[in-house]
Amino acid sequence: MVGECVESIPADALVPAKTSAIDLFTSLSTPFGASFFVEDEGEVVGFINAFGFMKVPFRLCLFAVTIELEEAALQVALLSRNEAWRALAPRRQGKARRLWSLLSNRPLPDSATDPWGLIEVTDFADKVAMITRSGLVEGWSEDRLTNTFRRAQLLRNTCAHTNTSHQYSVMHRLDDLRATTVMPNY
């Protein structure tokens, strides 16, 4: 019988199915050498190795985390939108005005005083600049905020590219970001 010939699976090669993907990913000591059997209710239901974390579903998960961070920055900026808008450099304000006009297919009225729509069309770096320069996040220094968002932007860019050197660095980008902020478990 085959059952009498097989080797048992060592306990350290089993991972519970409910383990956070990010926790498992960041705990790999050798990113491309570790392999695990996935166990659910005492039954082996699958197999995962580090290459599984380079596949699109996991990269999308990480990309989504960075988008959530950008959305959080937008919401913070909108809470004090006039102050946030004033913190943005005039050149970047001009870019937002042009993009708003392009997207709405009409010129921005000169009388427009509420920057709500303008802030919504700013890019990642602009949102970072607005909330860091205006001090809208209590308890975080400008350096810490800038550093966290820079790391998130690097992780986002890394997840968007598919070559091997970028994929290998996903783990390092994620570790960098986790070191500066609290991230949800996925």
| 30 and 77 within one domain | no
Predicted local distance difference test score (pLDDT) of residue 172: 63
Find which of 80-94, 112-126, 167-181 is predicted with most confidence, using mean pLDDT. Answer: 80-94
User: Per-residue pLDDT for 86 more than 90?
Assistant: yes
Which ranges of the chain does DSSP label H, i.e. alpha helix? 21-27, 56-79, 81-87, 90-104, 116-120, 124-133, 142-160, 164-180
| 3-class SS letters over 122-138 | CCHHHHHHHHHHCCCCC
Predicted local distance difference test score (pLDDT) of residue 65: 87
Predicted local distance difference test score (pLDDT) of residue 24: 79
| 10 and 67 within one domain | no
| 47 and 62 within one domain | no
| 49 and 65 within one domain | no
pTM of the model: 0.73
State the residue range of the domain holding 82. Answer: 56-180
131 CB-contact burial (10 Å; exposed 0-12 / middle 13-18 / buried 19+): buried
| 10 and 60 within one domain | no
